[in-house]
Structure 1
Amino acid sequence: MSSLQNGSVSSSGKGPPCSLLCVRGRDIVNASGNKIILKGAGLGGFLNMENFINGYAGHEHEFRTQMAEVLGKDKAQYFFDRMIHHFFTEEDAAFFASHGLNCIRIPFNYRHFIDDLNPDVIKLDGFALLDRCVEICAKYNLYVVLDLHAVPGGQNQDWHSDSGITRALFWEFKDFQDRVITLWEAVARHYRGNPFIAGYNPLNEPADPTKDANGHYGARLVAWYARVEKAIRANDPDHILFIDGNTYAMDFRAFPDEPLPNSVYAIHDYSMMGFPIGEQYEGTEQQKKQLRASFERKVEFMKKRGVPVWNGEFGPVYASPHKVKGGEAEANEVNKKRFALLKEQLSIYRETNTSWSIWLYKDIGYQGMVYVDPASPYMKLIQPFVEKKERLGLDFWGVVNKDSVKHIYEPFIAGLRAEISEKHARTKYPKVWTFGRHVERVVRECLMSEYVGWDLAELFRGKEKEELEELAASFAFKNCKGREELNNILRIDCAN
C-alpha cells in the first residue's frame, strides 16, 4: 500500500505472549524456555530525533533552541510534544505487529531525564514518555528494547549522540559517566519485572578512543560496561543487557574473554553498498562474500564465547524520484538493488539465528518502513529547506552525491590535507575515516548545519498552536505512506 490511511492491520501481535526473556547459551529464551528470535525496527526520530529523520540540520538540541527562539519556549515545546505524540500511537503498533515483527527498539535522549543544569534530579517526564510507548507495545504483544542513544558529552563523534561536536567527551569526564549510571539505575528500578521489556541497551554505538594494554580501542568503555552492569543488576537482576561493541558497534577486540552474564552482544551491520555514494550492490558472488565476511568479522567475539547476537541496526537508504536525475524509473532501478541487498542480509541472519532491528521505522523519506507524506503540511513547509540541506550535503545520511559542493570542499580539503604528513594522516580516531571525512563532519555536519538550521526555524515563525498541531500531525500513522516492497520483505522474513 502506498498510503496507510485505509490500511487494515491486526489488533495484536503474533507469537507467544511476552514474558521475561533471558540468555541461555547462544539463545534468547522466554519464561517457558522457548527460543525467541527478536525481529523489529528502531523508533528513531521519536525520543531521540535525528536530522535526516525529522528534517532539521545538525543536532537535536540546536533545533530545539532555534525553534524556542523563533516561536517562543511554550509554543516550541508544544510543537515537539505533539510531534512525539503523533510519531508513535496504537495505529503504528498495530501496523508493526501485523507484519509479524515482535520487538521495537526505542532510542531515547538523556535530556528527557537529565537537566544539565540540575543533573542530580531524574526528571519523571522521561518515564511518562517511555511508559506510554511501552504500554502501547504491550497491547500488541511487542517487546521493547530501551536504547540510550545520546548521553552527556556524547558517547561517539556523530550527530545522533546530540553533543554538538565531533568529539566523544563522555569518555573524558567521569561526571558524565556517573550521571548515566544513575539514570540506568532509575530505569532498572522502574521497569524491573516488566515482561514487555526485552532488555536494556546501555549505550548506542559507543566510540571510545582510549586504548587498552594491547593497543585496542575501548578501554574506558569496557570498564564502564562493568560498572553499569553491576548498577543495573542491583536494581533489576532479570532483564537482558544488549551490549554494543566499540567503534559504532563493530569492534569487540578490547572486550574481556568472560562475557557479562545474561547479556546479548550487539553489532550494527550497515553495508555501504546500500548507500548513494560508493560501490552499489549488484548481487555478484564477490559482493555476497563481502557481506558475509563483514558480518562474520563483527560476530567473531560472540561465536567464540557462545553468546547470542543482536544486530541492532542495518538497512539501505532508498532513492526517491525527485532526488535522482532519471526520476521514477531510475529510483526504481536503484531501489531494486537496495532491496536485493536487504534480502541477502536477512538470509545471513536467518542462517545464523541472529536477532535484528532494522533502522528505521518512520522518517521523512530516506529509509523508513513508513514515511511522512510529501503532500503533508509538514513536508510542504520544510521541503525547500530539505532540498537546501541535500544540496549543501549537510546530512551524511541524506547525501545523494557531492557534486553540488565539491567545488567548495575538494580544493579546501586538498589544501589542508597537503599540510598533513603521511605518517599522521590516519592518526585521528576513528581511523577508518579519511582526513576529508573528518573535515566534512566538523565543517558541514556541525558548523554549517548550525548556521543553516536557523532557516528551518524561520519557516515556523508566527505559527499558532492550531497550525503547529496540523504540522505535528503529519507524523501520524494515518497521514504517512508505506514503503511497500520493504514492508513486504520484512513480512515474508517474519513468516519464515
Structure 2
Amino acid sequence: MRAQDQFIVNEQGEKVLLRGMGLGGWMLQEGYMLKLGNLGQQHAMRAKIEELIGAEATQEFYNAWLANHTTKADIDAMAKWGFNSVRLPMHFNLYTLPIEQEPVKGQNTWLEQGFAMTDALIAWAKANNMYVILDLHAAPGGQGNDFAISDRNPNTPSLWQSEANQQKMIELWRKLAQRYANEPAVGAYDIINEPNWGFENADDKNGCKETKNEPLKKLMVDVTKAIRSVDTKHMIIIEGNCWGNNYAGVLPQWDNNMVLSFHKYWNNNTLDDIKSHLDLRAKYNMPIWLGESGENSNLWFTDAIALVESQGIGWAWWPLKKLGFNNPLEVKPNAGYLALVDYWNGKGEKPSAKDAKKALLQLANHDIRFENTQFHPEVIDAMFRQPYSKLNLPFKTHRISKTGGTITAVDYDMGRSGIAYHDKDSANYHISAGSERMPWNRGTTYRNEGVDIEFDPAKKSHFINHIEAGEWTEYTLEADQAGVYGLSAEVKATVATGRLGVSVNNELLAVDTAVAQSEKWQQVKLANVKLLQGTNKIRIYANAGGYHLLSLQLKK
C-alpha cells in the first residue's frame, strides 16, 4: 500500500479502505485486559506473578501466553468476519534488550522471538489476503505518562529522557524495515503508539496542550530516515502527542508516503468530532487513518465506523480479545485465576504457589486460545453490517413448534438501537460529556448493547435487569404453524411498579400487564398473540420499569 494524495491505495492504484483490529494483550499486556487494572503495566504484573510462583514458572507462563494468545485460527476468523488488516502492537523487549541490560553500552542485542512471532503473523495474514501494520506500542523506556499502554517503568529513564532509548528505537525500526522491505503483506510502519508527554510543560503530563512537539517530531524524522535507508516502499504512519491527537508543530509531513493517524475513544460521533483531522488531511493532502478505537458499546461502534467510512477513512479497532465483553472474542478465565485476581485486588486470600501456577498456565495454555473464547457475533454485526443496514437479524434461532416454545430474554435481535432494542444508556460518551465513565451495560456480560444483563446462578441463565420505562427488546421467531399462542413472561421484582406491553409484527396490542412484587421468578400472562407461519417479530415494552425479565413463553 502507499499514500496517494488523501487516500491509501494498493499497487494497482485502487483505493484501500482498511478495516482492522489491534492485537492488544498479545506482545504487551495491560492490566485491565486481565482484570488487574490496579497493577497496570506488564512489568508490574510480571513481578506479582514471580512473587507467587517464582521466576522459572513465570517464564513458562509468558512463553505459553505468547504462543497461544494469537494463533492462525484468530487471523483466519478475522478474515472470515470481514477484516482486511491487523495492527500488531509490538513490545520492543521481544526484539531487543532494554538499554539497562545490554552487555555493551550503546550496542543492540537482537532477540529472535519477536521477529519470529511477527513473521508468523505476516504468514497467517498473507494467506488471508490481509495486511499487517507494525505498531511500536511499547517503545524503549516508554513514550508517555500513561504508563500501562507502553509498559513504562517510572523508575528508569523514559524514551524522552534517554538518548540511548531513542537510538535503540531508531535502530529497531531500521532492523524491521530491512527485514520486511520487500514484503507486500506488511501494510505500513506505525512508528510510535500514542505518545503522551509534556515537553514544554511538565504539568501537561500527556502533551495535550503542547504547541511545538519538537522532540517528538525529531524522533519521528530520525526513524523515517532510518527506515528509508533500507526500505523506500512502505507507508509510514505517524501519531501526534496526546494519545495520537495533538499534531501541533509536527506537520507538514517530511516523506511522500506518509499517513496521519488519530485515535478516538468515548466521544460523540459527528463530523464536528473529527473535523480537526479532516482539516489536516485537506491542508496537507495526505491520508488519515483511525488507528485505534473501541472499548465501547455496539451502538457507538456502528456510529463511529459509519462516520469515518463516510469520509473514506479506514480504521483499526481495539482489541480482538481480552477478559471482558466489549470485543469480538471474550476470554473466559478459569475459577483459579479469578481467585488469584481477587487476591491481587485485595479481596481474597493468598493462593498456594501450586494453585497459582496451575491457574495461570490454564489461562495461558487454554483459556486465551481462539477455540476456547466466547465469540460475540453482535459485536461483529455492529461493526460490519449495521453501519449500512437498518434491519434487525436474529441473535439466535427461536423456533416455535406447534405446541409453543421458550425464548431467553437476553437473546433479543441484533441491530441498531431503536430497531432491535431500545435502552436509555447505550454508549459511553464521557469525553464529550465531561463526565465520569458510565457503563452502558451494568452487568458487563453476555452482550455489548445497552440492554443491562446479569447472570442468575440458580437458573444458570442470563436475564435483563435495570429495566426503565420506555425501554424494549425485539425478538424474531420462526413459527412452524400459524395460530393463536398464549404469551407469558418470566419476571421478578423487588417493587410493584413494573408494567409490560407487547407488539406483534409491528402491531401494538392493548396490553399493560402489571408485575407483582416477588423475590422469586414468576410467570405473568401478557396476551394471546396471533402468529403467522414462518417469520414473526415480538417486541416487549417496559411501560413502567423496576422488574427483571428472564424469558418469554409461547403456548398453544
Cα distance in 2 between the residues matched to 1:349 and 1:86: 33
Q: Is 1:227–2:222 an aligned residue pair?
A: yes
Q: Is 1:48–2:43 an aligned residue pair?
A: no
Q: Using structure 2 for the length normalisation, give the TM-score.
A: 0.62
Instruction: Name the % identity.
Output: 24
Q: Is 1:245–2:240 an aligned residue pair?
A: yes
Residues 454, 78 of structure 1: alpha-carbon distance in 2 compared, 3 angstrom cutoff: farther
Q: Which amino acid aligns with 1:476?
A: R
Cα distance in 2 between the residues matched to 1:306 and 1:34: 17
Task: Kindly indicate whether the alpha-carbon contact (under 8 Å) linking 1:144 and 1:199 is maintained by their aligned counterparts in 2.
Answer: yes
Q: Which SS does the other structure have where 1:254 is aligned?
A: coil
In the other structure, the counterpart of 1:333 is none
In the other structure, the counterpart of 2:353 is 461
Tell me the CA shift for residue 271 of structure 1: 2.0
Q: Which SS does the other structure have where 2:353 is aligned?
A: coil
Task: Kindly indicate whether the alpha-carbon contact (under 8 Å) linking 2:303 and 2:387 is maintained by their aligned counterparts in 1.
Answer: no
Tell me the CA shift for residue 360 of structure 1: 1.4
In the other structure, the counterpart of 1:475 is 368
Find the partner of 2:252 among 236, 252, 257: 257
Deviates more, 1:297-306 or 1:38-47: 297-306
Q: Which SS does the other structure have where 1:156 is aligned?
A: coil
Q: Which SS does the other structure have where 2:385 is aligned?
A: helix
Cα distance in 1 between the residues matched to 2:85 and 2:150: 23
Deviates more, 1:121-130 or 1:166-175: 166-175
Going by fraction, where is helix more abundant, 1 or 2? 1
Q: How big is each residue's C-alpha offset from its partner over 1:240-287, in whole Å with a ceiling of 9 and x where there is no partner?
A: 111111111111121133443201110001124xxxxxxxxxxxxxx5
Tell me the CA shift for residue 79 of structure 1: 1.2
In the other structure, the counterpart of 2:12 is 32
Q: Which SS does the other structure have where 1:237 is aligned?
A: coil
Deviating runs (4+, > 6 A) in structure 1?
A: 453-457, 464-467, 493-496
Task: Kindly indicate whether the alpha-carbon contact (under 8 Å) linking 2:189 and 2:235 is maintained by their aligned counterparts in 1.
Answer: yes
Q: Which amino acid aligns with 1:54?
A: L
Cα distance in 1 between the residues matched to 2:342 and 2:180: 42
Q: Is 1:147–2:135 an aligned residue pair?
A: yes
In the other structure, the counterpart of 1:484 is 377
Cα distance in 2 between the residues matched to 1:121 and 1:453: 37
Q: Is 1:359–2:359 an aligned residue pair?
A: no
Q: Is 1:382–2:337 an aligned residue pair?
A: yes
Q: Is 1:22–2:24 an aligned residue pair?
A: no
Q: Which amino acid aligns with 1:204?
A: N
In the other structure, the counterpart of 1:429 is none
Q: How big is each residue's C-alpha offset from its partner over 1:33-86, in whole Å with a ceiling of 9 and x where there is no partner?
A: 111111011100001111111333221012223323332222211111112222
Q: How big is each residue's C-alpha offset from its partner over 1:136-174, in whole Å with a ceiling of 9 and x where there is no partner?
A: 222222110111101122111111111133998211221
Q: Which SS does the other structure have where 1:134 is aligned?
A: helix
Tell me the CA shift for residue 456 of structure 1: 9.8
In the other structure, the counterpart of 1:100 is 82
Q: Which amino acid aligns with 2:165?
A: F
Tell me the CA shift for residue 495 of structure 1: 8.3
Cα distance in 2 between the residues matched to 1:185 and 1:136: 24
Q: Is 1:163–2:147 an aligned residue pair?
A: no
In the other structure, the counterpart of 2:263 is 268
Task: Kindly indicate whether the alpha-carbon contact (under 8 Å) linking 1:154 and 1:167 is maintained by their aligned counterparts in 2.
Answer: no
Q: How big is each residue's C-alpha offset from its partner over 1:347-397, in whole Å with a ceiling of 9 and x where there is no partner?
A: 111111101001111100143211112xx42xx223345568xxxxxxxxx
Unaligned runs of 5+ in 1: 1-20, 273-286, 318-337, 389-451
Cα distance in 1 between the residues matched to 2:97 and 2:194: 23
Cα distance in 2 between the residues matched to 1:71 and 1:38: 42
Q: Which amino acid aligns with 2:243?
A: Y
In the other structure, the counterpart of 1:326 is none
Q: How big is each residue's C-alpha offset from its partner over 1:14-41, in whole Å with a ceiling of 9 and x where there is no partner?
A: xxxxxxx111111111111111111011
Report the count of equivalent residues. 372
Tell me the CA shift for residue 233 of structure 1: 0.8
Task: Kindly indicate whether the alpha-carbon contact (under 8 Å) linking 2:336 and 2:355 is maintained by their aligned counterparts in 1.
Answer: no
Task: Kindly indicate whether the alpha-carbon contact (under 8 Å) linking 2:289 and 2:315 is maintained by their aligned counterparts in 1.
Answer: yes
Cα distance in 2 between the residues matched to 1:456 and 1:82: 26
Find the partner of 1:90 among 40, 50, 72: 72
Cα distance in 1 between the residues matched to 2:189 and 2:63: 25
Residues 230, 494 of structure 1: alpha-carbon distance in 2 compared, 3 angstrom cutoff: farther
Task: Kindly indicate whether the alpha-carbon contact (under 8 Å) linking 1:59 and 1:160 is maintained by their aligned counterparts in 2.
Answer: yes
* Larger gyration radius, structure 1 or structure 2: 2
Going by fraction, where is strand more abundant, 1 or 2? 2
Q: Which SS does the other structure have where 2:133 is aligned?
A: strand
Deviates more, 1:357-366 or 1:65-74: 65-74
Task: Kindly indicate whether the alpha-carbon contact (under 8 Å) linking 2:32 and 2:40 is maintained by their aligned counterparts in 1.
Answer: no
